[in-house]
Amino acid sequence: MGKPVVAVAAALVVLCSLFSPGVAMADTAEPSSGGALVRCEYIPTPDKPAAKPVRPPFPWTLARGTVTVTLHTNHGKVVMELDRAGAPCAVHNLAHLAWSRFYHDTQCWRLTDYERLGVLQCGDIFAAEIGGPGYRFADELTGAETYPRGTVAMGNQGPDTNGSQFFLVHSQALIPPAYTVLGRVTHGMDVLDKIAAGGIIPGANEHDGEPRLPVHINRAAVRY
């Protein structure tokens, strides 16, 4: 009974891709084995509507392979290799938002340089923690997540509140395994180092605030 269900699901992905610009062609391939295709649930958040026009991703995606997303910033390119196997729904979501131009002309509002937490947080449209895609989705965690230098992970405001926010680790992040790991930075760590070295405009804490060198994402490009 499993094979017909997978085949039907894959056919639905193909059909939807013809009409939905948020689905990439890489998501239309029928898996060679049962487990490669997964269903994701993107739940509307009426109390937090989309900050920019965007539809939720199509719910079916692959759980294998990688996706490359390149952030073209005012300081240079940051290339991220995202692993579908580790977090298929989160990778599908970030690629969809990049493809949909949700991250175009946005700003990374938060930089931290604590000894135990050094990250650049991006993906919020209006300010840190404000301005998401109008939906949320569940964490994808094993409980063994770590966040060394170069890690790309989802930001959240509590369990299962993922949306458009993500962070890039420029030093290390010794934090609980509560944030879905998307992948890693493969090019552009020098860009993150430059941003971190520029310092922080202190907020409530001198180690946490807006980057003193403003960080603008001019556009985000996706390669499957």
For 131-151, the pLDDT digits (tens) are 999 999 999 999 999 999 999
Per-residue pLDDT band for 212 (boundaries 50, 70, 90) equals very high
Q: Which CATH superfamily is domain 63-223 in?
A: Cyclophilin-like (2.40.100.10)
Average pLDDT over residues 164-187: 98
pLDDT at 100 over 50: yes
| Residue 202 binned pLDDT confidence (cut-offs 50, 70, 90) | confident
Cβ–Cβ < 8 Å for 34, 84: no
**Tokens describing residue 123:** 């993906």
Predicted confidence at residue 204, as pLDDT, reads 83
What is the average pLDDT across 137-166? 98
Instruction: Answer yes or no: is pLDDT of 206 > 80.
Output: yes
List the one residue out of 195, 143, 205 whose CA is nearest residue 167. 195
Q: What global pTM score does this model have?
A: 0.85
Give me the mean pLDDT over the 191-212 stretch.
94
Predicted local confidence at residue 2, as pLDDT: 41
Domain residue spans of the chain:
63-223
pLDDT digits (tens, 9 = 90+) for 41-90: 999 999 999 999 999 999 999 999 999 999 999 999 999 999 999 999 99
The pLDDT of 196-212, averaged and rounded, is 93
